Amino acid sequence: MTTARTARRERSTSESTVTVEVDLDGTGRSTIDTSVPFFDHMLTAFAKHSLTDLTVSAHGDTHIDAHHTVEDIAIVLGQAIREALGDKVGISRYGDALVPLDEALAQAVVDISGRPYLVHTGEPAGFEFHLIGGHFTGSLVRHVFEAITFNAGLTVHVNVVAGRDPHHIAEAEFKAFARAFRQAKALDPLVEGVPSTKGAL
């Protein structure tokens, strides 16, 4: 019988309080309340397209900036993913996706490697300064991927191939990451043990 790949993690600081629950073998259901509406939208898309059941409840000092709350959520999400992956026996390990959203096109590659590394390229000049949805600064997209990558133990490459609208660019990135992660976390019946010549990930 396969062990449930689920986790619940919490984090509380003077800047934010975060609770995250994940089920890697879900259907993409989500209940998201981060107090940052655009990030709610991105996390809902991540859950839907990665087939990860996800619950996120968070609040923080968003009257100052969304940065603390968004980054702390991503940290906890990464920790929950790492815990839920468990011993990684039988996983596909690698995933890649190329996802369009109108004029935007993003590519993501995920390796559940145990070695945190992020390569993030291609966002147009000035993207990091845009306020998307009035709350979410474009620079936070990279921060989210950094925090998830380093706390989940993933190697991730995200590249924006094309795009003009900041909302479309960010959403294409999140959806591409979700689809690549969906492939990487999938259990492959042909894989025996851990998919690494070292015997560990």
- The pLDDT, as a whole number, for residue 135 is 86
- The pLDDT, as a whole number, for residue 141 is 98
Which residues, at least 6 apart from 30, have a Cβ–Cβ distance to it below 8 Å? 43, 44, 47, 48, 53, 54, 55, 56
- The pLDDT, as a whole number, for residue 129 is 95
**Structure confidence by residue, pLDDT tens digits, 66-122:** 999 999 999 999 999 999 999 999 999 999 999 999 999 999 999 999 999 999 999
| Whether pLDDT at 134 is above 90 | no
- The pLDDT, as a whole number, for residue 109 is 98
**Structure confidence by residue, pLDDT tens digits, 49-62:** 999 999 999 999 99
Distance (Å, whole) CA 195 – CA 91: 7
What mean pLDDT comes out for the span 14-25? 97
| Whether pLDDT at 200 is above 90 | no
Look at 64 and 157; give whichever has higher pLDDT. Answer: 157
- Residues 101, 41: contact at Cβ < 8 Å? no
- The pLDDT, as a whole number, for residue 2 is 67
Categorize the per-residue pLDDT at 199 as very low, low, confident or very high, splitting at 50, 70 and 90.
confident
Distance (Å, whole) CA 91 – CA 184: 7
Tokens of 184: 């990487």
